[in-house]
């Protein structure tokens, strides 16, 4: 949670009114003592997640560059700025959230850039970022691996990745190959799988693909990442792999992604 000096009553009322005018908030930020989403259905969100994740990220991020994909109201961007990050860029497709983020950053006196941009166009942003946050977006995508392959090109040091998980939460080691007639593996609940949501899940028609843990971890690895930490059930900290896979699959997938 961002804790900042409290305001007098008049300023507080004005701030509360402005927060309300910006629409319903998904991020419960603390703006000088005024909360933006005090009645969030997930509690004090995303602070409930951050309290587990924050230990996995250096306290001192002096000068580090950060890209926050699907930044929403800017919670993670703000946290990175509080740790001294240099350039912080938040992107999102939703103007309501971008405006909330801009307002929150201005209210807290933080220099954070917000830009309307889809993750599918993230490869058009110049250069790489020390830290890339890709939190809570993956399962909202119809083309999740296409997006992930673009996201990893932007990662200089670490990717902080979160997805909703359903089904098995066990980490499954998969074999290097399976026989064509081996159909049993597909009945194993721990085998990597994604659940396709044809209509709606959690009253949200933008939920498309929800992986189990093995699928989430397998996709991260197959996109060229090494998992270095798993601070909470749905979040992984990854680094780009230095060595490409011996069978060249990683290279092939990326060449393919570039042509799509």
In DSSP terms, 227 is beta-bridged to 238
Distance CA 178, CA 165 (A): 25
Of 35-43, 55-63, 64-72, 226-234, the segment contacting ligand SAM by CB under 6 A is: 64-72
Query: Which one of 10-18, 68-76, 209-217, 221-229 is the stretch in contact with ligand SAM (CB under 6 A)?
Result: 68-76
* 46 lies in the site for ligand SAM, by CB under 6 A: yes
- Cβ of residue 63: shortest distance to ligand SAM, in angstroms? 23
Comparison of 70 and 218: residue with beta carbon closer to ligand SAM: 70
Are β-strands 66-69 and 129-135 bridged in parallel, bridged antiparallel, or unpaired? parallel
Mapping DSSP to helix (H, G, I), strand (E, B) and coil, where does residue 176 land? coil
Rounded to whole angstroms, the Cα distance separating 171 from 91 reads 31
Compare residues 100 and 193 and give the one whose CB is closer to ligand SAM.
Answer: 100
* Cα 157 to Cα 239: distance, rounded to the nearest angstrom: 6
Can you name the residues that pair with 34 across neighbouring β-strands? 31
Q: Residue 91 Cβ, how far from ligand SAM at the closest point, in Å?
A: 6
Q: Which stretch binds ligand SAM (CB under 6 A): 36-44, 113-121, 185-193, 224-232?
A: 113-121
**73: Cα separation from own chain's centroid:** 13
Which residue lies nearer to ligand SAM by CB, 26 or 131?
26
Rounded distance, CA 148 to CA 161, Å?
A: 10
* Residue 1 within binding range of ligand SAM, rule CB under 6 A: no
72 binds ligand SAM (CB under 6 A): yes
Q: Which of residues 127-166 bind ligand SAM (CB under 6 A)?
A: 135-137, 140, 162
Q: Which stretch binds ligand SAM (CB under 6 A): 89-97, 102-110, 221-229, 239-247?
A: 89-97
Report the distance separating Cα 227 and Cα 179, nearest Å. Answer: 28
> To the nearest whole angstrom, how small is the minimum distance from the Cβ of residue 140 to ligand SAM?
5
Taking the complex as a whole, the smallest distance from the CB of residue 31 to ligand SAM amounts, in Å, to 16
Residues whose CB falls within 8 Å of the CB of residue 199, separated by 6 or more in sequence, listed in order: 205
Helices (H), the chain: 9-21, 47-53, 75-82, 95-108, 144-151, 213-222, 249-259
> Which residues contact ligand SAM (rule: CB under 6 A)?
26, 46, 69-70, 72, 75, 91-94, 97, 118-120, 135-137, 140, 162
């Amino acid at each position: 949670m961002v804790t900042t000096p409290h305001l007098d009553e008049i300023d507080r009322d004005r701030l509360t009114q402005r927060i309300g005018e910006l629409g319903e908030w998904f991020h419960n930020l603390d703006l000088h003592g005024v909360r933006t989403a005090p009645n969030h259905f997930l509690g004090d969100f995303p602070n409930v997640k951050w309290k587990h994740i924050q230990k996995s990220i250096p306290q001192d991020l002096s000068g580090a560059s950060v890209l926050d994909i699907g930044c929403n109201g800017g919670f993670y961007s703000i946290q990175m700025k509080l740790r001294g990050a240099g350039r912080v860029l938040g992107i999102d497709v939703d103007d309501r959230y971008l405006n909330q983020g801009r307002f929150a950053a201005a209210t807290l006196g933080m220099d954070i850039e917000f830009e309307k941009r889809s993750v599918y166009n993230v490869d058009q942003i110049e250069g790489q970022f020390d830290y890339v946050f890709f939190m809570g977006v993956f399962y909202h995508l119809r083309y999740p691996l296409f997006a992930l392959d673009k996201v990893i090109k932007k990662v200089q040091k670490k990717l902080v990745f979160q997805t909703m998980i359903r089904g098995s939460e066990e980490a499954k080691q998969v074999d290097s190959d399976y026989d064509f007639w081996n159909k049993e593996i597909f009945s194993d609940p721990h085998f990597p799988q994604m659940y396709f949501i044809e209509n709606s899940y959690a009253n949200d028609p933008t939920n498309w693909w929800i992986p189990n843990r093995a699928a989430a971890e397998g996709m991260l690895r197959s996109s060229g990442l090494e998992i270095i930490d798993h601070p909470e059930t749905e979040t992984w900290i990854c680094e780009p792999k230095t060595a490409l896979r011996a069978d060249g699959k990683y290279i092939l997938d990326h060449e393919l992604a570039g042509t799509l």
